Amino acid sequence: MFDDMIRHPATWLEGNGTEAEIVLSARVRLARNISGLRYPPIAQQEDREKVLAYAEDAITYGKDFLKGRLLYVNDMDIIDRDFLIERHLVSPEFMQNASARGLYIGPEEKLCIMINEEDHLRIQAISSGLTIEDSFDEASRADDFLSKRLEFDFDDEFGYLTSCPTNVGTGMRASVLIHLPGLVLTRDIENVISRITKLGLAVRGFYGEGTEVLGNLFQVSNQTTLGRSEEDIIESLGQVTNQIIDYENEAREKLFRDARDQIEDKIWRAYGILSNARILTSEEVMNLLSAVRLGYGMGVIKDISLNVINELLLFSQPAHLQKYLKMKMGAEERDFARAKLVRQKLAKSVASG
């Protein structure tokens, strides 16, 4: 399974959706809980196992749509777990406790379902570019299929019930992973984040809540799940995202107009270091790739595909690197192997570009 995943990078990495140069991916997740069973934060082992068994049954029953595979966290070693976190298929929290936790992964990784995370089920769909509707459709279809065998806790007044009150209602979190180097360089990012926050959206780092911003990648998501329809939330996130894209493009135009040489210098130096360095940390790769991605977006670097930039972003992460090279490595070995992989992929990209 994992080897397959390495060979066929996730669909959301293809860089072919709408606005895919700035918006890496759109994601929708639905929180659902099965009636009559205690919610994960207070569940006994027995409850958790029931949830897992019920979910497994519902997935099997829905196999016309749910054609992927079910994995168990218990079967995974630490690298597998980190691999899935890096791939943005699961939350870091999900991997901290293996007990009765299952993970369904659909074909091309468009869909996944975490079983016994904070809620009984977390249905997630992810797609490349500004494609929130696509992800919502995918997640909704999964929800429909699961509902055929499972009864979810639903309150007529509140909507779906969840472990944490912030998810009650639609149980939905829609988000985009968006690359904003222009706004960071012009130092307008703080203003933009503050404006987004006032509109009721949250801005987070690369790996979600409480994580650092790396490579100028931001996750923007809805805060509110209650009192609004799914369609309303998605429309509003789409509008705000389009607004952010406009701001980012304005920032890039401004940079190109006022500091073109400096920006091109920054972009090409990043490219030069990535193509030549012998030691690279994953953090440095993310920051350098950010500049190369900006270069691609501004038409400065042409001999490279967005696909390769996205792939490198993922494959330079520690667990991906070890899976890809099929060996366990310490931090120093990884930095060396990472630099080699980056050089090879870039050389190949340019040669075939």
* Interacting residue ranges for a copy of itself, rule: CB under 8 A: 261-262, 264-265, 268-269, 271-279, 336, 339
- Alpha helices, H only, 12-65: 45-61
Q: Which is nearer to a copy of itself, 120 or 338 (CB)?
A: 338
Q: Which is nearer to a copy of itself, 245 or 267 (CB)?
A: 267
What does the alpha-carbon distance between residue 351 and residue 337 come to, in Å, rounded to a whole number?
A: 21
DSSP 74-117: GG--HHHHHHHHHTTSS-TGGGG--TT-EEEE-GGGSEEEEESS
For the bound state, the minimum distance from the C-beta of residue 275 to a copy of itself, rounded and expressed in Å, comes to 6
For the bound state, the minimum distance from the C-beta of residue 146 to a copy of itself, rounded and expressed in Å, comes to 50
* AA identity, residue 178: I
For the bound state, the minimum distance from the C-beta of residue 329 to a copy of itself, rounded and expressed in Å, comes to 13
Q: Which is nearer to a copy of itself, 222 or 349 (CB)?
A: 349
What does the alpha-carbon distance between residue 77 and residue 210 come to, in Å, rounded to a whole number?
A: 25
For the bound state, the minimum distance from the C-beta of residue 347 to a copy of itself, rounded and expressed in Å, comes to 12
For 182, residues 6+ apart whose C-beta sits below 8 A from its C-beta are: 248, 249, 250, 251, 252, 254, 255, 294
Which among 263, 268, 261, 242 has a CA at the least distance from the CA of 252?
263
3-class state of residue 229 by DSSP: coil
Q: Which is nearer to a copy of itself, 8 or 269 (CB)?
A: 269
Query: What are the helix and strand counts (H, E) for the chain?
Result: 12, 10
Q: Which is nearer to a copy of itself, 159 or 295 (CB)?
A: 295
Count the neighbouring beta carbons within 10 Å of the beta carbon of residue 1.
10
Q: Which is nearer to a copy of itself, 51 or 277 (CB)?
A: 277
For the bound state, the minimum distance from the C-beta of residue 22 to a copy of itself, rounded and expressed in Å, comes to 23
Q: Which is nearer to a copy of itself, 60 or 276 (CB)?
A: 276
For the bound state, the minimum distance from the C-beta of residue 336 to a copy of itself, rounded and expressed in Å, comes to 6
Which among 254, 259, 248 has a CA at the least distance from the CA of 183?
248
For the bound state, the minimum distance from the C-beta of residue 120 to a copy of itself, rounded and expressed in Å, comes to 48
162, two tokens: 């969840």
Rg of the chain, C-alpha, whole Å: 21
